[in-house]
């Protein structure tokens, strides 16, 4: 079984500041993928960033970067220079080797304040 | 650029009625997934297809639910004898097969309200 835990139901950040969203996970597989998805209000889920477990280097996509701590099973998302358009629900997700389904956390609602 | 599309976007139905949703995946994707998302929660896996074969079903998928993917293209999800607990957003996703199957692309969802 695979589990994903997001312990921050809601967060807020001032525009242009940096915010970090936390995620922990559990899986018995050695090969897996981790993702952060963004779901704006009433809009569809968008893949923000992905991390392959066998890669030690943390993934980066423009203003979005992750801190992947494999031993601690931690996968946090850092958003730099926050913009109003970053306001959304953010879901951490896990796809373990052999599983076709993606397991999602309960989400963190991020509000960017002007 | 044609992403995953779903129809309808919203559906209101009375308890006991049957409803059917459609999902059109990205054209070159041979894997298709259905998820259910209730308010304030992350999506939960329901079922997945590789081409036309339904390969995995969640325990969440009761016998009132049936999904098909004829010819390995679009998919339908039918809920029979709807209950108020079925009210949720139903999300469809698709992916390539093989080594790229881990990356799923989501549609806008169908929001079902059962009154």
- In tens digits, chain B (115 residues) has pLDDT values of 579 999 999 999 999 999 999 999 999 898 999 999 998 889 999 999 999 999 888 888 889 999 999 988 999 999 999 999 999 999 999 998 766 667 889 999 999 999 9
Q: Rounded distance, CA A98 to CA A113, Å?
A: 41
Q: Note whether B9 contacts A: Cβ–Cβ < 8 A.
A: no
**Contact predicate B43/B107, CB 8 Å:** no
**Contact predicate B91/B3, CB 8 Å:** no
Q: Which residues pair with B84 in a beta bridge?
A: none
**Contact predicate A10/A112, CB 8 Å:** no
pLDDT at A28 (0 to 100): 87
Q: Note whether B41 contacts A: Cβ–Cβ < 8 A.
A: yes
Cα A55 to Cα A49, B67, B78, distances in angstroms: 14, 36, 40
Q: Note whether B58 contacts A: Cβ–Cβ < 8 A.
A: yes
For A40, nearest residue in chain B (alpha carbons)? B108
Hey, are the CB atoms on B103 and A106 less than 8 Å from each other? no
pLDDT at B1 (0 to 100): 54
For chain B, the maximum distance between any two Cα atoms, rounded to a whole number of angstroms, is: 43
For A10, nearest residue in chain B (alpha carbons)? B40
Hey, are the CB atoms on A107 and B91 less than 8 Å from each other? no
Nearest CA-CA distance, residue B4 and chain A, Å: 10
In the stretch 81-110 of chain B, residues with CB closer than 8 A to chain A read: 91, 93, 101-109
pLDDT at B86 (0 to 100): 96
pLDDT at A99 (0 to 100): 58
Hey, are the CB atoms on B31 and A100 less than 8 Å from each other? yes
Could you say which residues of chain A have pLDDT below 70? Answer: 97-99
Nearest CA-CA distance, residue A18 and chain B, Å: 24
């Amino acid at each position: 079984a695979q589990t994903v835990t997001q312990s921050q139901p809601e967060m807020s950040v001032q525009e242009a500041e940096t915010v970090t969203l936390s995620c922990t996970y559990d899986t018995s597989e050695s090969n897996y993928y981790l993702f952060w998805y963004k779901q704006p209000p009433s809009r569809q889920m968008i893949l923000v960033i992905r991390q392959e477990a066998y890669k030690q280097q943390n993934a980066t996509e423009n203003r979005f970067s992750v801190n992947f701590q494999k031993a601690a099973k931690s996968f946090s998302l850092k958003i730099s220079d926050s913009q109003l358009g970053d306001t959304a629900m953010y879901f951490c997700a896990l796809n373990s080797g052999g599983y076709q389904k993606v397991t999602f956390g309960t989400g963190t609602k991020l509000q960017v304040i002007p | 650029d044609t992403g995953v599309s779903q129809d309808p976007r919203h559906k209101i139905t009375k308890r006991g009625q049957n409803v059917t949703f459609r999902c059109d995946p990205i054209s070159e994707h041979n894997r298709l997934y259905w998820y259910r998302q209730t308010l304030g929660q992350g999506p939960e896996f329901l079922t997945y297809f590789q081409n036309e074969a339904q390969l995995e079903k969640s325990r969440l998928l009761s016998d009132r639910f049936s999904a098909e993917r004829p010819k390995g293209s679009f998919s339908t999800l039918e809920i029979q004898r709807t209950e108020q607990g079925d009210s949720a957003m139903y999300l469809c996703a698709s992916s390539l097969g093989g080594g790229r199957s881990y990356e799923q692309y989501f549609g806008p969802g169908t929001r079902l309200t059962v009154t």
